[in-house]
Amino acid sequence: MSDIKIKSAFISVYCKEGLEAVVKKLEGIGATIVSTGGSYEFITAAGVAAVKVEDITGYPSILGGRVKTLHPGIFGGILARRGHGEDMSQVAEYGITLFDLVIVDLYPFEETVASGASDQDIIEKIDIGGISLIRAGAKNWADVLIVSSRGQYEELLLLLDGKGGVVSAEERYRFALEAFNMTSHYDTAIFNWFNRNGDIAAFKQSIISAHPLRYGENPHQKGIFFGDPDLVFEQLHGKELSYNNLLDIDAAMSLIDEFEEITFAVIKHNNACGVACRDSLKDAWEAALACDPVSAYGGVAITNREVDETVAEEMDKIFLEVVMAPSFTPGAVEILSHKKNRIILCRKDATAPAALFRPMPGGVLWQERDRAAESAGDMKPVTDRHPTEEEYADMVFANRIVKHSRSNAIVLAKGRQLCASGIGQTSRIDALRQAIDKARAFGFSLEGAVMASDAFFPFADSVTTAGEAGITAVVQPGGSVRDQESTDYCNKTGMAMVFTGIRHFKH
CA distance 191 to 195: 6
- Report residue 333 CA to chain centroid gap: 26
Length of the chain: 507
Number of neighbouring beta carbons within 10 Å of residue 445: 12
- How far CA 197 is from CA of 184, 206, 238, 352, in Å, comes to 21, 18, 41, 18
Is 492 an active-site residue?
A: no
Contacts 24+ apart (CB under 8 A), 385-388: 385/490, 385/491, 385/494, 385/495, 385/496, 386/496, 387/450, 387/473, 387/496, 387/498, 388/473, 388/496
For every residue of 119-150, DSSP letters joined together read HHHHHHTS-SHHHHHHHHHHHTTTT-EEE--G
Question: Can 139 be counted among the known catalytic residues?
Answer: yes
Q: Which of 16, 211, 269, 386 is catalytic?
A: 269
User: In angstroms, what CA-CA distances link 146 with 3, 102, 162, 180, 332?
Assistant: 14, 5, 18, 10, 50
Strand ranges inside 208-335, DSSP E: 210-212, 224-226, 233-237, 263-268, 271-277, 300-303, 322-325
Distances (CA, A) of 270 to 356, 363, 406: 16, 25, 8
Query: Which residues contact residue 113 at a Cβ distance below 8 angstroms, ignoring those fewer than 6 apart?
Result: 122, 189, 193
- List 16, 71, 139, 339, catalytic entry: 139
Amino acid present at 463: V
Neighbour tally for 77: CB within 10 Å? 22
Catalytic residues: 139, 269
